[in-house]
């Protein structure tokens, strides 16, 4: 035991305590980069251009949709910050944005299904599905890699799968918030089966990776 203590205390280097501020700052920078990428390479949706000119759109979704995914991302980042230390425990409040927003979208989907039936709803899935999947998955994965390199690998969580899942949920949601500046698919079925599934896929991948990479 004495040998171990000698080894551990020999040449002891100062360490910087792990703070959550770099996580939030990094997420903000990542979100800005993603939003600029979408805005200048994909182009903004017309309602947002009009909004900059001072015209509030007739429908709220062009504004609400990015904010919705932003709320999901912030909720997940809150969970990441809470779980990154050994004493951190999963709490229901980290998932509240997912439950609330998911519940609202799913409720709207049911109403629409009763009113219009599946065939008419499926028409909303015709355009831009692949680009939406690819953008959210690739952008979210890039964010996840940066998050891992800069912050997550210093973590010591007691819940690696949950931390991985929340990290994936955070980066995918923030990428979805950026992509929503361009995408005009606002129907509940589109939100659930395109955005929702893309975010869920990355969350699942990150949970699996978390189970492997975040063990210590």
Partner 1 sequence: MRSAQAGDAAAYRALLEALRPWLIAYFRRRLMGSTGEDLVQMTLLSLHEKRHTYDPNAPFLPWIAAVARHKLIDYVRKNGRHVHVELNEELGLEDGMQPDLAARDVAVLLAQLPKDQARIIKLHKLDGLSVEEVSAQTGKSASAIKVTVHRGLKKLQALVGIKETGQ
Q: Given the complex with partner 1, which of 140 and 210 has the nearer CB atom?
A: 210
Closest distance between partner 1 and the C-beta of residue 204, in Å?
23
Selected binder of partner 1 within 12, 41, 92, 130 (CB under 8 A)? 12
Candidates 93, 134, 156, 212; binder of partner 1 (CB under 8 A) is 156
Helix and strand counts by DSSP (H, E) for the chain: 9, 0
User: In the complex, what is the shortest distance from the CB of residue 83 to partner 1, in angstroms, rounded to a whole number?
Assistant: 11
Residue 131 CB-density burial (10 A; 0-12 exposed, 13-18 middle, 19+ buried): middle
Binding piece for partner 1, criterion CB under 8 A, among 10-18, 48-56, 94-102, 190-198 = 10-18
Interacting positions 92-151 with partner 1 (CB under 8 A): none
The Cα–Cα gap between 151 and 22 comes to 8
- Provide the residue count of the chain: 216
Q: How many angstroms separate the Cα of 102 from the Cα of each of 161, 170, 192?
A: 21, 15, 8
Does position 9 interact with partner 1 (CB under 8 A)? The reply is yes
Residue 27: which of 165, 134, 177 has the closest Cα? 177
Give the shortest CB-177-to-partner 1 separation in angstroms: 29
What are the start-end ranges of the E strands in the chain?
none
Stretch that binds partner 1, among 49-57, 104-112, 118-126, 154-162 (CB under 8 A): 154-162
d(CA 178, CA 37): 9
Tell me: does residue 53 bind partner 1 (CB under 8 A). no
Residues forming the site for partner 1 (CB under 8 A): 1, 4-5, 8-10, 12-18, 84-87, 89, 154-156, 158, 215-216
């Amino acid at each position: 035991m004495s040998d171990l203590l000698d080894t551990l205390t020999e040449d002891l280097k100062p360490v910087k305590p792990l703070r959550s501020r770099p996580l939030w700052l990094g997420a903000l920078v990542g979100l800005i980069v993603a939003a600029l990428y979408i805005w200048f390479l994909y182009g903004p949706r017309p309602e947002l251009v009009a909004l900059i000119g001072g015209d509030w759109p007739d429908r709220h979704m062009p504004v609400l949709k990015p904010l919705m995914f932003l709320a999901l991302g912030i909720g997940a980042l809150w969970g990441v910050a809470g779980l990154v230390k050994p004493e951190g425990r999963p709490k229901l409040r980290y998932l509240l944005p997912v439950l609330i927003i998911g519940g609202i979208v799913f409720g709207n989907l049911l109403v629409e299904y009763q009113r219009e039936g599946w065939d008419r709803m499926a028409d909303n899935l015709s355009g831009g599905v692949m680009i939406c999947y690819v953008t959210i998955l690739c952008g979210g994965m890039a964010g996840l890699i940066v998050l891992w390199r800069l912050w997550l690998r210093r973590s010591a969580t007691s819940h690696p799968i949950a931390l991985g899942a929340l990290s994936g949920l955070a980066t995918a949601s923030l990428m979805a918030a950026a992509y929503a500046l361009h995408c005009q698919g606002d129907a509940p079925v589109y939100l659930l089966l395109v955005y929702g599934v893309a975010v869920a896929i990355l969350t699942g991948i990150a949970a699996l990776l978390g189970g492997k990479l975040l063990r210590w």
